[in-house]
Amino acid sequence: MASGARKAISRHDASSRLPRYLQVASVLRRRIRDGFWAVGDKIATLEQLEREFGVARVTVRQSIELLQGEGLLRSHQGRGTFVTKALENKRWIHLATDWESLVEPIRDNVVELLPTLDAPRAPMIGDDEGRPAPSYAYLRSVQKRGSEPYALARVHVAREIFARAPKRFAARPALAVLAEMKGIPIAQAHQTLSISAADVETARHLEIAISAPTAEARCIVTDENDVVIYVGEVTYPGDVVRLNIELIDRRRR
């Protein structure tokens, strides 16, 4: 296990935005979540973790301090560091690879709108993503599952479409509203995923630690005229996301 963990950490390179201590903390957090260490268990020593991950002692200390701040660990001088709280496996957001699977889980989510005083006039649209609409409405919100925040959404909807149901767009996830609207021929929807770290604003709204791992999903929807009618950029806490892709299924239907 030690060599595998060290190889995983060693893959950190210039393209990664996660510091080493966050990478180590992520592995330790996952071990607690998966039951490798139960509540009350003493975790590996600083020396063991330092050797396992091939990092400096200060990096290991930063990782443990981060998890202490989350209430998962507590260190006792002369005795070691112990697990103080179980971490529920809550990877319930399955980033979809088809349209219906993308929309269905978010239909009933609670939306809490945020101020948009500094709203961008238009979304960033790549040359190969479609043609911009004449203008867009901008929505910024925290989306919740019950009372728990799980996503920070920044959404542009073609203004002509937004004007048809502004109250619905303000009360529900915009993508779900768009999918249910009649007379809007959706020709293409494309989603990309990237891994990042929470900045101050994201951490505050999602109630996670600054620089905690996050998943950034960007969704582009175009109509039959190749006009981009929806651009959604949604940030999720990294510990609630799972990406499932079926590669081969030879079972008879």
Residue pair 216/153 in contact by the 8 Å Cβ criterion: no
Helices (H), 11-156: 20-33, 46-53, 57-69, 99-103
Euclidean distance between CA atoms 3 and 153, whole angstroms? 38
pLDDT given for residue 12 in this prediction: 41
Domain membership of residue 251 (yes or no) is no
Q: Which amino acid is at 209?
A: A
Same domain for 97 and 60, yes or no, is: no
Give me the chain's average pLDDT, please. Answer: 83
For residue 32, what is the domain's CATH number?
Answer: 1.10.10.10
For the segment 144-150, the average pLDDT, to the nearest whole number, is 81
Euclidean distance between CA atoms 236 and 144, whole angstroms? 11
Phi, psi of 136 (to 5 degrees): -135, 150
Q: What percent of the chain has pLDDT over 70?
A: 82
80-91 tens-digit pLDDT: 999 998 866 555
pLDDT given for residue 178 in this prediction: 93
For the segment 27-31, the average pLDDT, to the nearest whole number, is 85
Domain membership of residue 226 (yes or no) is yes
pLDDT at 150 over 50: yes
Q: Residue 57: give the domain boundaries.
A: 2-83
pLDDT at 106 over 80: no
Residue pair 238/90 in contact by the 8 Å Cβ criterion: no
* Pair of tokens at residue 189: 């929807």
For the segment 150-164, the average pLDDT, to the nearest whole number, is 94
Q: How many CB atoms lie within 10 A of CB 51?
A: 14
Same domain for 53 and 145, yes or no, is: no
Domain membership of residue 252 (yes or no) is no
- Between 90 and 166, whose confidence is greater? 166
Same domain for 140 and 20, yes or no, is: no
For the segment 192-202, the average pLDDT, to the nearest whole number, is 85
Euclidean distance between CA atoms 46 and 60, whole angstroms? 7
Instruction: Calculate the CA 196 to chain-centre distance.
Output: 8
pLDDT given for residue 8 in this prediction: 44
Euclidean distance between CA atoms 96 and 246, whole angstroms? 11
Give the confidence band of 132 by pLDDT, cuts at 50, 70, 90.
very high
Domain count for the chain: 2
Domain membership of residue 173 (yes or no) is yes
Phi, psi of 50 (to 5 degrees): -60, -45
Residue pair 159/184 in contact by the 8 Å Cβ criterion: no
For residue 228, what is the domain's CATH number?
Answer: 3.40.1410.10
Phi, psi of 197 (to 5 degrees): -140, 145
pLDDT at 133 over 90: yes
pLDDT at 130 over 50: yes
Same domain for 76 and 172, yes or no, is: no
Same domain for 99 and 170, yes or no, is: yes
